[in-house]
Amino acid sequence: MPNIAYPALTWRDLTFEHFREGISVHWLLKGGPAEPSVAILNYRPGAGVPRHRHVGLETIVVLEGMQSDGNGDYPAGSVVLNPAGTEHSVWTKDGCVVLIQWNLPVIILDETK
């Protein structure tokens, strides 16, 4: 597979699609069920992802706003690593934009939370 390069753009220049309630996505690299993916997620205020388990490493860079989980609050510029086997839910009070890389897709544990 050749390298994939993006010109100097801001995330606001990208086209987003629905990802889940309150969250839109721009796929930089959309892998299959056993492949890595890289995306930019745009969370509206109050949006979140229910408790889920990481099957592979997840890397998050907060580009704008603040993302939170049970371990703390992560303002713009934060880098968050969630190793395989860890579980958490994620939310944002005022909205945020993150660059996210999953080595493997996550497993949602409870859609109701």
Encode pLDDT of 42-57 as tens digits.
999 999 999 999 999 9
Q: What is the pLDDT of residues 4-45, one digit of tens each?
A: 666 666 788 889 999 999 999 999 999 888 899 999 999 999
Q: What are the domain boundaries of the chain?
A: 27-108
Q: What is the pLDDT of residues 75-87, one digit of tens each?
A: 999 999 999 999 9
Q: Looking at the domain covering 27-108, what would its CATH class be?
A: mainly beta
Contact 57/83 with Cβ under 8 angstroms?
yes
